[in-house]
Structure 1
Amino acid sequence: MSSSPSPSSSLTRIPPAPRLSQVMGERPSAGVGWLANRVMDALSALPASVRDGLARFVGWLAFTLGIRRRVALENLAHAFPEKSEAERRGIALEAYITMARVVIESIDTRDHVDLSWAAPEASGDWEALKAHVATGQGALLVTAHFGNWERAGKLFVQRGIPLNALVRPLKGALNMRIVDNRVAAGAGLIYPKGAIAQAQEAVGLGESVLMLLDQALPAKAAVFVPFFGRPASTTPAMAVVAQRTGAPVFVVMGVRDASGRILRLEVEGPIPAPTVQEGQDPIAAHTAAVTAVLERHIRRNPGQWLWLHRRWKVQPPTESLAPGGTERA
Structure 2
Amino acid sequence: MPYIGYFMQGLIYYISLPFIYFLSLLPFPVLYRVCDGFYFVLYYVVGYRKNVAMQNLRNAFPEKSEAEIKRMCKDFYHYLCDLFPETFKTLTISRSAMLKHCTLSPQAKEIFDRYNQEGKSIILVMGHYGNWEWAGNTFSLTCKQKLFVVYHPLANKYLNGLMYRMRTRFGTGLIAMRETYKDMVKYKSITSATAFIADQTPMPENAIWTSFLNQDTPVFPGTEKIAKKMNYPIVYITIKRLKRGYYTILAELLSEEPKNTADTEITTLHTARLEKDIREQPELWLWTHKRWKHKRPAEKSIV
Specify the TM-score bucket, using the shorter chain as the normaliser.
0.7 to 0.9
Secondary structure of the 1:193 match is helix
Q: Secondary structure at the match of 1:171?
A: coil
1:222 and 1:233 in contact (8 A); partners too? yes
Give RMSD over aligned pairs: 2.5
Number of the residue aligned with 2:48 = 67
Deviation, structure 1 residue 50: 1.2
- TM-fit CA distance, 1:150: 0.5
- SS of the equivalent of 1:82 reads coil
**Secondary structure of the structure 2 residue equivalent to 1:231:** strand
Inter-partner Cα distance in structure 2 for 1:233 and 1:203: 29
**Aligned-pair distance for 1:293?**
0.8
Aligned to 1:96: 77
Distance change (3 Å), C-alpha of 1:54 and 1:206 = same
Identity of aligned residues (%): 24
Question: Bigger shift: 41-50 or 30-39?
Answer: 30-39
Give the distance between the partners of 2:164 and 2:214, measured in 1 at CA. 33
SS at match of 1:147: coil
Q: 2:178 aligns with which of 176, 193, 210?
A: 193
Matched-pair contact (CA < 8 Å) for 2:209–2:216? yes
2:245 paired with 1:261: yes
**Deviations, residues 18-38 of structure 1 (Å, cap 9, x unaligned):** xxxxxxxx8965565344222
Runs of 4+ in structure 1 deviating by more than 6 angstroms, as ranges, are: none
Instruction: Answer yes or no: is 1:227 the counterpart of 2:208.
Output: no
TM-score (normalizing by structure 2) = 0.86
Answer 1 or 2: higher relative contact order, Cα 8 Å, separation at least 6: 1
Please say which of residues 169-178 and 230-239 is displaced more in the overlay.
Answer: 169-178
Task: Answer whether contact 2:58 2:69 (CA < 8 A) is retained.
Answer: yes
**What's 1:4 paired with?**
none
2:200 aligned to 203, 215, 223, which one? 215
Picking from 138, 150, 165, the partner of 1:180 is 165
The counterpart of 1:290, out of the listed 270, 286, 290, is 270
The one of 271, 275, 282 aligned to 2:255: 271
What corresponds to 1:314 in structure 2? Answer: 294
Aligned residue in 2 for 1:168:
152
Q: Deviations over 1:184-236 (max 9, x none)?
A: 22111111223223234445522111111110011233222221122222111
**Who is 2:101 aligned against?**
118
| Number of aligned positions between the proteins | 292
Distance 1:117 1:300 in 2: 24
Deviation at 1:96, TM superposition (A): 1.8
Structure 2 gap ranges (5+) = 1-5
Distance in 2, matches of 1:36 and 1:148, equals 22
Structure 1 residues 20-35: aligned runs within 5 Å: 32-35=12-15
Q: 2:60 maps to what in 1? A: 79
Partner SS state of residue 101, structure 2: coil
